[in-house]
């Protein structure tokens, strides 16, 4: 098994002293549907610094957990994955370029989309407290050593000067870089399950019933960072592919015309299917969707599907358990989509009996579930995330809220105990807010 050397750990400590640089959805989409080799190379260069910084923070964070959590075998395993991925990026050999190409790379090119200042400006993410998900728990004021200022000068999207052809070494590097990212993405597929496994190990060894606020905020920071890393990696792999295959309406994994109705219908169908399967129902409770047919906005379809699927599964479960699986008719769950100037808001209303007010704070904690027997954690059952099971890991709501907040949205829950629950999913349509990572 791979183990990090002491020298590697030293390099990791050095990288972890730099703060992460947030990227906004707007910036990610500026690449257009056909980025040039030069522009992609500049982005690869940004990522070849930014990803190691983010990975290094995670290695450190995983090693400094309280109450013996860092010593759990599954946590150590995940820490090694982060260190190994860090090493793979920093040791990837760079192309040797002529002076002429180097200086051309440094010259700013023209924005291909007539890019305005508004597009590149980043605003504060409205649903996140300042520093709530900062890259490390103790870098409160950036040590005053100018590292934050140095990092602020780096950007993900910089248009390159494309007036002439680029040497083949550039494209070759882009391809190798994308391949390395692919390998890393695959390695980290089962991070969520493995960390959850680590927490279970710790609960068992330490006889803990619940996780405290230090571990809760570690997990929030950790999973938020994971969403960001996977977003950048997924985006970059897709952009590299897009240099030779065209996908209309897509810039990387961002769909500029994400159709809310289509995604909601699919999530409803999937959640009902899982519900029928889990409770052995002939027909799952019905879900009514109120949404304009042509409601499109710029978003990552995979994120929206995830959030809707998780909230719908919760509602269907509550409805079935409140009214009894032997019923042949259930109250209808309503999904209402509203289009505002700032937000698109999706409300999921069920008549599943609600949640007692005292339990509301708990629903946002990881591993909180009212399912009696947590299903077995099989790290391979679904490579990408907790998706397959009906319920029982207590990850559905907290992770969905992170996805919402990642692009400046939010997820809120209001319950009427004895009647039902309303979940509000706010999605920011302007998306100029930066990733909540600094
Ligand atoms: N719509 C809902 N109605 C009633 N209870 C809910 C609803 N959504 C969530 N909950 C409660 O919150 C808990 C945590 O939800 P979640 O994070 O999705 O984890 P899981 O579904 O795996 O239990 C659930 O176990 C349930 O008790
Ligand atoms: Mg759930």
Report the CATH number that the domain containing residue 314 is assigned in CATH: 3.30.565.10
pLDDT at 422: 98
In a domain, 119, yes or no: yes
Please tell me whether residues 203 and 284 are part of one structural domain.
Answer: no
Query: Do residues 178 and 282 both lie within one domain?
Result: no
Instruction: Look at residue 159 in the predicted model and tell me its pLDDT.
Output: 83
- Domain boundary residue among 246, 278, 305? 246
Q: Is 308 in contact with 258 (CB distance < 8 Å)?
A: no
Q: How far is CA 144 from the centre of its chain?
A: 30
Residue among 216, 285, 314, 317 whose CB has most ligand 1 atoms within 8 A, to mutate:
314
Burial class (CB in 10 A: 0-12, 13-18, 19+), 227: buried
Question: Do residues 327 and 233 both lie within one domain?
Answer: no
- Residue 1 inside a domain? The answer is no
Question: Is 401 found in the same domain as 274?
Answer: yes
- What integer pLDDT is reported at residue 117 of this predicted model? 45
Q: Which domain holds residue 385?
A: 255-428
Domains identified in the chain, total number:
2
User: 246, 275, 309: which is the final residue of a domain?
Assistant: 246
Same domain, 148 and 285: no
Residue 433 domain-assigned? no
- Please indicate, yes or no, if residue 239 is contained in any of the structural domains: yes
- Same domain for 182 and 286? no
Residue among 50, 87, 310, 351 flagged as catalytic: 310
Residue 223 covered by a domain: yes
CA of 255 to the centre of ligand 1 (A): 29
- Which residues lie with the beta carbon below 6 Å from any ligand 1 atom? 310, 314-315, 318, 350, 352, 355, 363, 368-371, 391-397, 421
End-to-end Cα separation, the chain, in angstroms: 33
pLDDT at residue 268, rounded to an integer: 98
| CATH code, 106 | 1.20.140.20
Q: Kindly name the residue from 174, 259, 314, 428 that is annotated as catalytic.
A: 314
- Judgement on whether residues 164 and 302 belong to the same structural domain of the protein: no
Which sign does the torsion angle of CA 102, 106, 107, 111 carry? Answer: positive
Domain presence at residue 335: yes
C-alpha neighbours within 13 Å on the C-beta side of residue 207: 0
Q: Are 185 and 112 in contact (CB under 8 A)?
A: no
Ligand 1 centroid to 317 CA: how many Å? 8
Does a structural domain hold residue 238? yes
**Residue 178: both structure tokens together:** 């994308």
Respond yes or no: is residue 236 known to be catalytic: no
Nearest CA to ligand 1 atom 23: 369
Ligand nearest to the CA of 422: 1
The yes-or-no answer on residue 372 being catalytic is no
**436 lies in some domain:** no
Q: Which of the listed residues 363, 402, 404 should we mutate to test ligand 1's pocket, taking the one with most ligand atoms within 8 A of CB?
A: 363
Query: Are both 272 and 379 inside the same structural domain?
Result: yes
In the residue annotation, 270 being an active-site residue is answered as: no
Residues 311 and 394 in one domain: yes
Assess whether 323 and 396 both reside in one domain. Answer: yes
pLDDT score of 149:
46
> 188, 213, 246: which is the final residue of a domain?
246
Distance 228 CA to ligand 2 centre (A): 22
Say how far apart CA 247 and CA 249 lie, in whole Å: 6
The token duo for 386 is: 């907790």
153 & 12 share domain: yes
Predicted pLDDT at 383: 46
Cα(208) to ligand 2 centroid in Å equals 22
Residues 231 and 100 in one domain: yes
Ligand 2 centroid to 360 CA: how many Å?
Answer: 14
Per-residue pLDDT of the chain (438 residues; tens, 9 = 90+): 889 999 999 999 999 999 999 888 888 888 887 888 999 999 999 999 999 999 999 999 999 999 999 999 999 999 999 999 999 999 999 988 888 888 888 876 665 444 444 445 567 777 788 778 877 766 544 444 445 545 446 788 888 888 788 889 999 999 999 999 999 999 999 999 899 999 989 999 998 888 888 999 999 999 999 999 999 999 999 999 887 777 889 999 999 999 999 999 999 999 999 999 999 999 999 999 999 999 999 999 999 999 999 999 999 999 999 999 999 899 999 999 999 999 999 999 999 999 999 999 999 998 888 888 766 665 554 444 444 577 778 899 999 999 999 999 999 999 999 999 999 999 998 666 678 775
How much is the pLDDT for 346? 98
């Amino acid at each position: 098994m791979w183990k990090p050397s002491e020298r590697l750990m030293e390099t990791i400590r050095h990288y972890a002293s730099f703060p992460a640089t947030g990227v906004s959805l707007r910036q990610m989409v500026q690449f257009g549907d056909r980025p040039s080799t030069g522009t992609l190379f500049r982005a690869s260069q940004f990522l070849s610094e930014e990803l190691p910084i983010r990975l290094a923070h995670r290695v450190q964070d995983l090693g400094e957990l309280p109450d013996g959590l860092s010593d759990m075998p599954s946590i150590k395993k995940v820490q090694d994955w982060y260190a190994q991925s860090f090493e793979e990026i920093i040791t990837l050999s760079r192309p040797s370029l002529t002076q002429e190409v180097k200086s051309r790379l440094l010259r700013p090119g023209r924005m291909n989309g007539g890019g305005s200042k508004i597009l590149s400006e980043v605003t504060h993410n409205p649903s996140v407290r300042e520093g709530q998900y900062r890259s490390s728990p103790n870098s409160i004021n950036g040590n005053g050593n100018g590292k934050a200022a140095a990092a602020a000068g780096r950007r993900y999207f910089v248009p390159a000067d494309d007036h002439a052809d680029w040497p083949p070494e550039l494209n070759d590097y882009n391809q190798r870089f994308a391949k390395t990212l692919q390998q890393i993405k695959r390695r980290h597929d089962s991070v969520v399950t493995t960390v959850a496994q680590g927490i279970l190990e710790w609960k068992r060894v330490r006889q803990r019933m619940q996780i405290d606020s230090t571990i809760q905020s570690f997990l929030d920071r950790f999973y938020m960072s994971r969403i960001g890393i996977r977003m950048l990696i997924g985006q970059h792999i897709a952009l590299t592919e897009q240099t030779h295959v065209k996908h209309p309406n897509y810039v990387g994994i961002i769909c500029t015309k994400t159709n809310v109705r289509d995604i909601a219908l699919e999530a409803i169908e999937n959640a009902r299917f899982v519900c029928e399967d889990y409770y052995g129902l002939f027909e799952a409770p019905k879900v009514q969707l109120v949404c304009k047919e042509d409601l499109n906005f710029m978003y990552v379809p995979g994120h929206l599907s995830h959030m809707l699927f998780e909230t719908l599964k919760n509602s269907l479960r509550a409805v079935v358990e409140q009214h009894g699986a032997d019923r042949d008719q259930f109250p209808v769950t309503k999904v209402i989509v509203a289009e505002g100037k700032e937000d698109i808001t999706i409300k999921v209303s069920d008549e599943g009996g609600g949640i007692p007010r005292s339990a509301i704070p708990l629903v946002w904690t990881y591993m909180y579930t009212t399912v009696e027997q947590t299903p077995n954690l099989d790290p391979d059952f679904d490579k990408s995330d907790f998706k397959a099971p009906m319920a029982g890991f207590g990850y559905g709501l907290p992770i969905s809220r992170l996805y919402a907040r990642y692009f400046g949205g939010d997820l809120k829950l209001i319950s009427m105990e004895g009647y039902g629950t309303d979940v509000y999913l706010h999605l920011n349509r302007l998306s100029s807010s930066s990733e909540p990572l600094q």
